[in-house]
Every structure is written in structure tokens, then in C-alpha cells.
Amino acid sequence: MVSYKLLTPEDVYFSGTASAEEPVEESVEDKPPETLLLENKAVCSTTTSFIALGTFLLVVCGVWLIGTIFWLQSPSSQFPHRPPPPGTAATSGQGQGGTAPSPGSCSTIPEAWRFDCYPERGAVVTRELCEARNCCFIPASMETPPAKNGVPWCFYPLGFPTYTLYAINDTDLGYTGQLTKKEKTYYPKDIETLQLDANFETDSRLHVKITDPFTPRFEVPITVPNATEKASSPLYTVEFSKNPFGLIVKRASTGTVLINTTVAPLFFADQFLQVSTSLPTQYVYGLGEHRSSFLHDVEWNTLTMWARDVPPMELTNLYGVHPFYLGMEPGGSAHGVFLLNSNAMDVVLQPGPALTWRPIGGILDIYVFLGPDPSSVVQQYLEVVGFPAMPVYWALGYHLCRWGYKSSNGTWDVVKAMRNYGIPQDVQWNDIDYMDRSLDFTFDPQQFATLPDMVKDLHSHRQRYVMILDPGISSTQESGTYWPYDEGLKRGIFINDSSGQTLIGKVWPGLTAFPDFSDHETHEWWFENLQKFHAKVPFDGLWIDMNEPSNFLDGSLNGCPSNDLENPPYTPGILDGTLRSKTLCASALHKTSVHYNLHSMYGLMEAKASSCALKRILGKRPFVISRSSFPSQGRYSGHWLGDNRSQWKDLYTSIPGMLTFNILGIPLVGADICGFAGTTEEELCVRWTQLGAFYPFTRNHNSIDEKAQDPTAFSPMARTAMKEVLLLRYSLFPLLYTLFHHAHLEGHTVARPLLFEFPGDAKTYAIDKQFLWGKSLLVTPVLEPGVDYVVGYFPKGLWYDIYTGDSIRSSGEEIRLQAPLDKINVHLREGAVIPTQRPNTTLWVSSGQPLHLISTLTDEGTAEGDLFWDDGESLDTYETNQYAYIVFHVAKNTMTSEVLRDNIEASYITVETVSFFGVKKEPSNVTVNSQDAAFTYKTNQVLTVTDLGLNLSQNFTISWT
């Protein structure tokens, strides 16, 4: 690593459990002390002595002051947490109007630690352009232009001007300070004085804000905790560099530096903010929404954030914005960092390793989470943005949809075919073709005339109906014929252009206006529209799409004005290069701010309005699936991964997408099974259905004019394979439902990366072709065509095949598994009790069936598990104590069930069968509640006790000898 400017003892302000040092004083000006001029005349000896002594003291002070000034600017090696110096070249402040840095000083900065001084996309950076910014210019190659994502040719020299920490003082929560700068940068409207607040909010959470103390700036309007007292035993220490200003955050127990912003200059202009930090690791996750591997590449990887309607592709800003990352540290500890900012931004990863945040508005509002394990990091992040909602039970069933059923009868026929083949299905969906001329809150009176009857039939079979809604409201219907637009115009709930007139764009129904979901009045209008439509078609949930928001025009029908919001001094690397591309003008007016600030929050605001409306209409848990998303989205909706393709690559990339959204607090997530765009192949669809059966949210969906891809459309062999894996999912519903309870209550992940359970095993850090449900169920899908095997990594320990109970003892190795087309490999980790259930074709039926408990024993014969159970749909059952909670323990050849909370729902369920995997010796006797019981024992060490009929709401004991 290389530092931007090295710290010296007087440049550093330390925090810790001890009392704080004195506040940093204003720096002494760089000027020599005044000398005393003496007259050449005789004086008494006493006076002479005093003058001589005074002169001596002044000289000493002057020498000390000058020496200190040079010392403050000299390298220091007293701080092992700092990056090593790049060389011994002297540094000098460089700014506008200064001179270019010397080539010698520039060449000492290693390539991995060169921070881009000319990040503008599409610019051909010449020496003249670079040195006009007083930055270093070293071409990587004279023959080729700079790579789009490579070592920057133009980078900051040592000593580039930035902010100085003028003063810092204690507060009730931590520290507050003032940052000042004297030299302008090359971006307009520098803010020369900043306020720094570092709040020790909890022992594991540090909150740092850098704001303009004189002029209010946009801050993201989501609810975050309001700490009232300083953490007493923080897991972190905080240090401040005074000149240049820098923030250093370390893990107290190990000294690992988590953040060190002294590696590059801080920028804080009106429309350009930039802060860089060293990273303690190259293992970085999160930073959604992007299509990539789960583990991000730190080799000059720029991730742009600005919500965009575009089919998932690499190196492109996609539907959601989540500026949060999780990092794995050497030794297995983990930390997280969250920048609470909704403006367009670039996040740059480079091989130092280092990271740069580069938003074009708002403030620097940064949270640091200390974990120390990955699951705790996610939990601490969700304590800030909000834990995900508990889903309604049927949300976890199999969903079927397509764009292009073309009629309600055509939709109904597919539902009936699924029933005839006995294939599980809980929810039927419709895309926009159900609408009358693509108008929201309507249905086609000819092709979908029987839609209300179809929904009634679904409900009679305990199935559910979900339809799509887009935010664009048609603005061209004859006055008085389309209530949503007429009433919206009357109430003034639409987004306006910069002149105050309703902004008109274009989506599926043609010219449209866009509801302003930042306004509470819009929420009420949305609710009334949904209520009116529900009276005609009693839908059960909402699919909100096109809510980036998407616009077939760039900006509006009338274009966008030419101003700083539309053409900021710096535009991040967004698709097509302009903020207005395929969305609204950045200068468009919401009630609370401009679209420039609120754009990426639009999907979140619509999800909140939809969730609240469904609660009022149904009186039950709402079901909402949204395309666009932002931090705290999990409180209101799930997410699907967008308009993917029927390709094997998309099958694979759905796993890192699913894992990423689980660490972002949206566990109800999945991809379109078998692919949305293009025509699927039978083998691909079978393998995708097998994988999709283990998405937390599982939906088959495809595009208009493509061949049908629901399970009934394929050969008997394929259809049977799909049916069997869906029945497996339904049998695992008690486990999945309990995992969602822990996500809602504690912020746990549902679909979980292996590294979360094995942080000490670095081999798991890059695995994204396998995943866990919770801590104990390992899924190893086939992701390639034409194979009947799959290679999976098994962390050290005992693993059991879920189908047979056969065991695998791994030392932490890859194992080749047989995987014929009708099988997905699923293994259970030792030490678990997994609740399963006899499956049926809907979860309403399945959830009433008897339980089968599977205990996977360790070598010591122990296991544990739990079960959360309620009525599956009432609001706030945990918060109102309307639930049952049972824990299971196995030790010393005995299983015990302990009902920690009882509820009438549990009394309807019986425990019919218990299997123990890993019983080393065949028992001679098994007792249930001290009564002899029949059992079977297989040579693969599986003990099964059947025909139990135990009431779930009563404690029981099963023992064997």
C-alpha cells in the first residue's frame, strides 16, 4: 500500500476507552517568529541578563517551531497501520494554479495505489489535461489508450490539496470537528468548510457524517436509529489525521485497519463528492445491483449505481442501488461499510486493495459495522435500514407467470393442467397483457373477461393471484373516463417538470404521468385505486415493475432543460452516459426534492405505498415483488432479478444475485426460472427448476411469443423431475418458514453463502455455485449442459445426503457427486434437526400435514434445531405473541422437544416420523415418552421411528439404547 500523506504523531487524534485527549488546536501559521531588535547602548547587568535570556528563549522557540514544521511534513514510520511509504521524495502541495508534480515523485507511487484524478468516462486523457489538474501522468503504454477499467494514467500525487482538520471536540456520542480547505479543486462549487461527526452508536456500529454546516443538503429520508448514548466498549478505535484530514478505523482486538481515508484526497463539491479508503482485504461482497460473481473483482472494477431498466449484463448499472459492502478480513473476521446516499455514484475497487466512493450529491453518511462474523455484519446493517418483513406463507410456494397468456382462459388452462398433473402451485400471475390497453387498474373486457371467475376458482382451491402494475399512468384518455389520471391530476400527485407542469413520458400505455411516491397524498391515491380494482378482481399480491422508473423516452416528451442537474460536472459511468437516459429528467420535481436525488429510491417508495395499501385492503401480510430496490426495501417487498435470458450463464449468475440480495436485507429473492427472454431448452429448464426450487422466492416466468415453459409443457420425464423437486421444496416448508422468521427477527440470511458458516475456511470465500439454506442445508446444483455429475466443495465435517442419509466425511475438499437429470444434490450438515412436512400441491394443504424431523448427528451424537409456527398470514404474529416456537435437542441418545411458546396453530400439527442420521450402532430399544416404540435401522446408520402421532404443542422425548 501507499499513503496519500504520512501521519506524524501531532497529526493524529486517538479515540479509545480512555478519556479523550485535548481538542486539536488551530495550527500555527508557517512563519518565523519575530526577532527582538536591541539598541546598542549600555544597560544594567540585571536588564542585560533578562534580555539575553529572553533572546535565547526566542531563538530556541524559533528553532523548535521551524523544526516542527519540517518534521510535520516528513515521513514517519511510527504507525504500523499506515501503508508503507512509496519513496523518499519530498511532497509539496499541488492545487489549481500550482505546478505539476515531478515525474520522480509520481513514479514512486505503485500502480495498485494510483487513485484516478481524471475519472470522466469517454475522455481521452492527455498529459496537458492531467497536469492542468496538477496530477501525475504516467501512461501505462504509449501504444494504447487507457483501459476502461485499468491503471489510471492520471492520478493524484502525494500532497494533493485537501481538507485540514481544524478542530475536534468531544460530544455525548463521540466527536465533532471542522474541516477546512484553502485551495479550490477542479470541480465547481467547492464547499470549503465541512462538519465532521463521528458517533460511537453501539459497540459494533460507528456512524460518521460529513456535511455542510451552513447550507442544508439532501439526506436520504429513510428511518435510521437515533443513538442517545455513546458506546461503552466499542470493538473499534478511531483516529484522525489532522493535515491532511483523514479517518482511520481499526478493529480494537487485532489492530486491523478497516478504513483509512488518508490514501487519497477528500473532495466535497456541490455535485462531486469523493472519499477513498484502503481495504484490509480483497474479499469484498455486496454493492448491488450488478451482474457479477458473488465475490467482486478488485482489479480496477468500477460499479456504477443509478437505477436503470436494462436486462442484466456485466459492467452496467441495473435496477437497484445498494451502496453497502461486506469485507472478509485475514483471520476470518468480517466488517461492513454502508454509504447512505441515493445519488448517482461510482464505486471503484482497485488492487491496493482500496475503494473509492464517488457520489454526485447528498452528503457522506457512512456506517461501519464490526461484526465480527459475517452474519453479525448483516444483522448490524439491518439494524440501521430495517429488518425484512415476515412473508405470508404462500409467498414461499411455487409461482407461475408469463407475458403472453393472451387471455384469462389461457391462463386458467395452465392452472388446470398443473392440477391435473399434481404439480405444486400456490400462485398464478399475469403480466401486462391482462390490462385493457395496458392501463393500470383495468382488465381487458374481451380477452380477460373471465379474470374475476379465474381468481374465484384459484381461491376455492386455496391458490392465490398476483398481477403486475407499472407506475406510468396514461395521460391521453378522454377526460372523465380514466379515474386514476383524472383524480391524480386533481390532487396534484404526479411528478412535475422543472417548470412545474406534469412531466409526461412514455411507457406501455403510451404517454404517461408518473406518481410522486415521495408524497403521502400519492400513497392515499394509490390505495384508493387498488381498493377499487380489488372490488372487481380480488387479487392477493402485487408485482411492481418498471419502477426505476422506466421511460421509453429520455427525460420527457418535451425533453429536459440544460442545467447542472441534467449535465452535472461529473457523470458516473451509467449506461448511455446521461442521467435522463430511459428515465425522467433529473430536474423533475417531487414534493420533497428533485429527481436527481430521489431517482434510485423510486422503487422503494412505490413498494412502501403498495405494502401499506395491501395491509389496509386485505388485513393480512402484504405480498409485493419489486424490480427496483434500495436499502430498507426488504421491509416492504421482495425482489426478482429482472429480465434474464434462457441461457446457462444466466442460470449460474442467479446464484450470486440471490446471495447478494440476502446480504442486502432482501431475502425474498429469486430469478425467473427457465429464463425470461428467449426460448428455453428442456434440459436447461429442468436444471433451472431444480435450482429454482431452492430460491427463497421461486417463480417460472417467460416472455411474450416464446414457447410455453411451465412444467406441463415438457416431456413426461422432465415434467416428473420438476414435480419431484417442487414437492421436495414443499416438504421443506417448515424449515424455510423458520428461516424467514429468523430473517425478520434477527436479520439472518435465508439463502446463505458458505463463507457465512465457515469464515475460517478461505476456500469458501469465492464459492457461488453452491449455497446454504440457513446453516445446515447445502445445495449443489448442476449448472452446465450435458453432464450427469457435479463437483461440490464440502467444508470440513460430516455431511448427509438428504434423500438417503448416507454420510460424507470431508476434510474440506471438492467431491464429485452423481447428478442425473432427475436429481439435485442436497446435503445436510451435521448437528442439525431439520423439520420437514408431507408435501402436497399447495402450501395451505401441506402446512397442515404431519411433520418428519431429520436429525443429523455429530460424532458426539448431538444435534439441535427449531421451528417457528403461526397461522401464516396474520400481521405481526411474533410482535403480538400469536405464534408457537419449539426447539429440538439431541444428546446422549435422546431427543427432546421443548415448547418455548405455544399457540393453537401448533396443536393442529403432529410429529409423525423422526429419522436420526449417523447413529453408529443399531439400538436394541427405542422409547417415546418412556413407552416402547417400533423402529428401523439401516446399515448406513439411519435410525427411523415412525407412527408417532406426537402433538407438536406438547414436549416429548425419544431415546434409544
CA distance 503 to 512: 8
Closest to 366 in 3D by CA, of 211, 235, 244: 211
Find the catalytic residue in 329, 433, 440, 548.
548
SS3 769: coil
Cβ atoms of 907 and 954 closer than 8 Å:
no
CA distance 710 to 747: 34
CA distance 883 to 862: 27
SS3 of the chain: helix, strand, coil, percent, to 5: 25, 25, 50
CA distance 568 to 561: 12
Question: What is the CA 421 to chain-centroid distance, rounded?
Answer: 39
- Grid cell of 747 as nine digits: 436479520
CA distance 882 to 900: 13
Name the amino acid, one letter, at 861: G
Cβ atoms of 686 and 821 closer than 8 Å:
yes
Give the angle subtended at the CA of 881 by the CAs of 880 and 887, to the nearest 5°. Answer: 150
Q: Sign of dihedral through CA atoms 937, 938, 944, 946?
A: negative
- Grid cell of 769 as nine digits: 455455485
Cβ atoms of 193 and 251 closer than 8 Å:
no
**454 burial type by CB count under 10 A (0-12 exposed, 13-18 middle, 19+ buried):** buried
Kindly report whether the peptide bond that precedes residue 445 is cis, defined as omega within 30 degrees of 0: no
CA distance 634 to 641: 14
Question: What is the CA 25 to chain-centroid distance, rounded?
Answer: 41
Name the amino acid, one letter, at 592: T
Cβ atoms of 154 and 117 closer than 8 Å:
yes
The question of whether 545 is a catalytic residue gets the answer: yes
- Grid cell of 538 as nine digits: 380480488
Cβ atoms of 884 and 901 closer than 8 Å:
yes
SS3 168: strand
Query: What is the full DSSP assignment across 289-341?
Result: S--S-SSPP-SSEEEEE--------TTS--S--EEEEEEEPTTS-EEEEEE--
Find the catalytic residue in 545, 643, 650, 870.
545
Q: Tell me the CB-side half-sphere exposure of residue 606, using CA atoms within 13 A.
A: 30
The question of whether 548 is a catalytic residue gets the answer: yes
- Grid cell of 185 as nine digits: 479543486
Active site residues per annotation: 545, 548
